[in-house]
A and B are shown apart, each in its own frame.
Chain A
């Protein structure tokens, strides 16, 4: 894609895809992107989440936040379910991010071995 006018072409296609998802219950994924997150490798995690969500058209919105407060456990990915339930995944990398999308968003099953509870850190 070389120019802005090319962007208009992708618009209709994107609209169609988004409307296909409507009615599905939306998940929200939040990635910590403060200094601690960036230094620990949150950028490739965010990229993977966005790319994989696009590829598979998962019913999910990926957003960013600042420091979540557990810097040693970064990169941290929080998944908010349609009912507002929250799951916190810690020490995430690209490979784990793909698994989280497949299991949690794709099949609705929490990937419990990657959660903060399973990390053995006392909070």
Chain B
């Protein structure tokens, strides 16, 4: 199952990659003042007609032919509902398909973030054909990771997908977001200690 939000993000981004998008934007957010956390994934891929959109949350529906059900979106919706959050999905084919998942930040069942830098690397690595923008918005700590900027800096698209370079890129993203995540994990520990 999906024990971490990082795993959910990777899973939803894979839907966008399969939808032949060439631009995927991932917003990862946490707002202490509103007690929410979550993420949204926006792509410009093939999208879904209204009748398909009605069915995507049914676990026994999928458009793929390799198996008979799709669990990614239903699992995410379940996590949101379980954690006093909100889930929505909207789509205009080839323009904008958006999945928004929000959870109550202080809810005991809200999954931890998990390894977001790793997820960034996996999304980047799995989407060599397009542009991937990750916006991390943790209260006042904002970080934007744009694949175009990274590829331009390296100066060679193919080289970015070399194993050794990928590891370095992951560590670069980790350096950008770790200060916040460390703070966040202390709070989670405190939260659990307070409840036990």
Bound pair (A, B): yes
By size class, the interface of chain A is 35 or more
Report A-chain residues with C-beta under 8 Å of the C-beta of B153.
Answer: 4-5, 7-8
Report A-chain residues with C-beta under 8 Å of the C-beta of B7.
Answer: 38-39, 43
Can you offer 19 A-B residue contacts whose CB atoms are under 8 A?
A: A1-B171, A4-B150, A6-B172, A10-B164, A11-B156, A14-B159, A14-B162, A15-B156, A35-B14, A36-B67, A36-B71, A38-B10, A38-B11, A39-B7, A54-B163, A54-B164, A54-B166, A67-B64, A67-B66
User: Which residues of chain B in 132-177 are interfacial with respect to chain A, using CB atoms and an 8 Å cutoff?
Assistant: 149-150, 153-156, 159, 161-169, 171-172, 175
Report A-chain residues with C-beta under 8 Å of the C-beta of B17.
Answer: 66
Given A7-B169, A38-B2: A1 and B125 interface contact (C-beta under 8 Å): no
Complex Cα distance A60/B70, Å?
31
Report B-chain residues with C-beta under 8 Å of the C-beta of A8.
Answer: 153-155
Instruction: Check A67–B167 contact: CB distance below 8 A.
Output: no
B57 to chain A, nearest CB (A): 14
Q: Which of A45-53, A82-90, A110-118 contacts B (4 or more CB under 8 A)?
A: A45-53
Given A7-B168, A8-B153, A14-B165: A66 and B159 interface contact (C-beta under 8 Å): no
Contact with B along A19-53 (1 / 0, CB 8 A): 00000000000000111101100010011001101
Contact with B along A82-108 (1 / 0, CB 8 A): 000000000000000000000000000
Q: Which residue of A lies closest to B173 (CB)?
A: A1
Q: Which residue of B lies closest to A32 (CB)?
A: B66
Instruction: Check A35–B154 contact: CB distance below 8 A.
Output: no
Instruction: Check B2–A39 contact: CB distance below 8 A.
Output: yes
Instruction: Check A14–B164 contact: CB distance below 8 A.
Output: yes
Report A-chain residues with C-beta under 8 Å of the C-beta of B167.
Answer: 50-51, 54
Complex Cα distance A36/B67, Å?
10
B84 part of interface (Cβ distance < 8 Å): no
Report A-chain residues with C-beta under 8 Å of the C-beta of B125.
Answer: 46, 50, 62-64
Given A33-B10, A68-B66: A2 and B175 interface contact (C-beta under 8 Å): yes
Q: Which residue of A lies closest to B115 (CB)?
A: A43
B122 part of interface (Cβ distance < 8 Å): yes
Given A5-B153, A38-B2, A39-B2: A10 and B64 interface contact (C-beta under 8 Å): no
CB < 8 Å neighbour of A18 from B67, B72, B122, B159: B159
B194 part of interface (Cβ distance < 8 Å): no
